[in-house]
């Protein structure tokens, strides 16, 4: 089990409870795994489902992991303001539908978005009171291992993801809190604590 003193870092005053929590970090760090665990174990947390133009991976279900759409439909959603944030990455579009997020905020429910670093910046601009949480790998070598062992993408796509991950890791200081993904169970507990306004202790750097 991870030592909590080394697995959570608060960069500044942590705004809890937040009206909206954003989970981000480099590709391969385990964001989707954390979200799946929260979906199974924390029904009180509303999870945003993103829209993407990439093809489903084995086991993914339309409307659960993502809404899978064509490029023309995605671009129309972006043009008409239906997306809170969106970006193009590794040859595909990804975005967050705006209406469900607004409805969840109005209902006062704890909501969680899983987005990339570019998307997190867009959410911060659109919703300054959102809590931005950065999910970091235990080490660079571990991140490389997780990406290369997926075996779901060709080598050139993995290389682009690694290049992007280097830049994304440099963005950590833009976030309110960092959680180090040494244990999915610990990360989920820490994330739910943040979203439900339980106390978070700032760690010395």
Q: d(Cα 47, Cα 100) in Å, to the nearest integer?
A: 10
Residue 6, pLDDT score:
45
pLDDT digits (tens, 9 = 90+) for 145-166: 888 876 667 788 888 888 889 9
Is 205 domain-assigned? Answer: no
User: Does 204 score more than 70 pLDDT?
Assistant: no
Structural domain count, the chain: 1
CATH number at residue 181: 3.40.50.300
At 16, give phi and psi (nearest 5°).
-120, 145
Whether 88 is covered by a domain: the verdict is: no
- pLDDT > 90 fraction of the chain, expressed in percent and rounded: 62
64-102 tens-digit pLDDT? 889 999 999 999 999 999 999 999 887 899 999 999 999
Q: Indicate the average pLDDT of the chain.
A: 86
CA distance 102 to 97: 9
**Sheet with strand 50-52: strands edge to edge:** 66-68, 50-52, 92-97, 83-89
Q: pLDDT at residue 45 above 80?
A: yes
Residue 144 forms part of a structural domain: yes
Environment class of 40 (CB within 10 Å of its CB; exposed 0-12, middle 13-18, buried 19+): exposed
Report pLDDT for 19.
75
Give the domain extent around 156.
4-48+109-195
121 occurs within a structural domain: yes
Phi, psi dihedral angles at 198 (to 5 degrees): -75, 155
pLDDT score for 101:
94
- Please check whether residue 185 lies inside any domain of the structure: yes
Structure tokens at 119: 């998307």
Quick check: is 183 in a domain? yes
Q: How far apart are CA 67 and CA 51, in angstroms?
A: 5
Q: What's the predicted TM-score (pTM) here?
A: 0.82
Cα radius of gyration (the chain): 16
Higher pLDDT, 153 or 9: 153
d(CA 36, CA 94): 18
């Amino acid at each position: 089990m991870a030592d909590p003193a080394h697995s959570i870092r608060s960069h500044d005053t942590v705004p809890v409870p937040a009206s909206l929590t954003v989970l981000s970090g480099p590709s391969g760090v385990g964001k989707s795994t954390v979200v799946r665990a929260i979906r199974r174990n924390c029904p009180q947390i509303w999870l945003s489902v993103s829209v993407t133009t990439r093809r489903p991976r084995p086991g993914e279900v339309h409307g659960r992991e993502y809404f899978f759409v064509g490029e023309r439909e995605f671009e129309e959603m972006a043009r008409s303001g239906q997306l809170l944030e969106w970006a193009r990455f590794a040859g595909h579009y990804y975005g967050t539908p705006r209406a469900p997020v607004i409805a969840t905020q109005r209902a006062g429910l704890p909501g969680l978005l899983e987005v990339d670093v570019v998307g997190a910046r867009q959410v911060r601009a659109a919703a300054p009171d959102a809590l931005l949480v950065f999910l970091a790998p235990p080490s660079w070598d571990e991140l490389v291992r997780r990406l290369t062992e997926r075996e779901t993408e060709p080598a050139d796509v993995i290389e682009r993801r690694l290049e992007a991950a280097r830049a994304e890791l440099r963005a950590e200081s833009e976030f309110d809190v960092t959680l180090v993904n040494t244990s999915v169970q610990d990360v989920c507990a820490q994330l739910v604590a943040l979203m439900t306004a339980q106390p978070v202790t700032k760690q010395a750097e």
